[in-house]
Amino acid sequence: MAGDRVKLNRDTNLLKLIAMITMLVDHLGARVFPQYQVMRIIGRIAFPIYAYCVAVGCVYTRNIFKYALRMGVMAVLVQPLYATAMGHTKMMAFDWAHNFYRVDLIIDHYYLSKPSILFTLFAGILLLWTIRDKKYLLTGLMIAVIWYIQNKLDYGLNGILLILLFYVFCDRPLTSFAWVAAFMVWWGVPAIRTRIPDTVPTTVSTQFFALLSLPLIYFPLRTRMKINKYVYYGFYPAHLALIYLLTM
């Protein structure tokens, strides 16, 4: 797949900056300022941008497996900080002094409560790797694994499907927009999926506001902004450390 196939917004450095800021706002709203629901709404912008940037990264990178490995290693290393900072578990509740060698207990305490978004992105990259390199037996295996663990992934199966939609239609802006927008509406309006009777008012979930990310993804920009990849990857644990300090 040639890199020039991407005909959506290729200014991914600007998009990454926006994703980092909106993710920080979202997590601050979840842990520090829960009374401000608007912060969670703003935060819905982050994941579609990350999903899109991952799809574009899988188009451009020469070694997509190395890309997946880098994301997977980071997910494993950052997970204890994520689980603690976001209130899914307590750092001091684990007896490190006596159980530092108990990998099973560490996994149960830090990894099974609520995996971070990095695991979702990792799974999405692996799936695209099998598709791009035509390893279709592995594609079937990845689909089975993702289906089995979907309830453990942040954003679940829908998050993986969004990454896949961005990748498959990255060379057809209008088709991509139609599919992605329709999918986000389906995702964000529970009444569409649950067959709520007409007498019940149609409501939207917070996820519906992820649609706000689409103008950023589909409108081509040329800011020539550059973000070092270490800054991009380092921001995730850094912002979690900040939230952990603020909630201590």
Neighbours of 121 (CB within 10 A): 27
pLDDT band at 96 (very low <50, low <70, confident <90, very high): low
Do residues 160 and 153 touch, judged by C-beta distance below 8 A?
yes
95: left (phi over 0), alpha (psi -120 to 50) or beta: beta
- pLDDT given at position 158: 96
Element at 13 (helix H, strand E): helix 12-31
Q: Which residue has the higher pLDDT, 241 or 5?
A: 241
Tokens, residue 207: 């996820």
Alpha-carbon gap, residue 18 to 236, rounded angstroms: 13
**Count of domains for the chain:** 1
Question: Is residue 1 situated within a structural domain?
Answer: no
Question: What is the residue range of 113's domain?
Answer: 8-247
Residue 191 lies in a domain: yes
pLDDT interval class at 225 (50, 70, 90):
confident
pLDDT digits (tens, 9 = 90+) for 170-218: 999 999 999 999 999 999 988 776 655 554 555 778 999 999 999 999 9
pTM higher than 0.95 for the full model? no
Closest listed residue to residue 209, CA positions, set 16, 21, 37: 37
Residue 16 lies in a domain: yes
Question: Does some domain include residue 153?
Answer: yes
Domain-embedded: residue 109: yes
Confirm whether 201 is domain-assigned: yes
Under 8 Å between Cβ of 115 and 123: no
Q: 2 in a domain, yes or no?
A: no
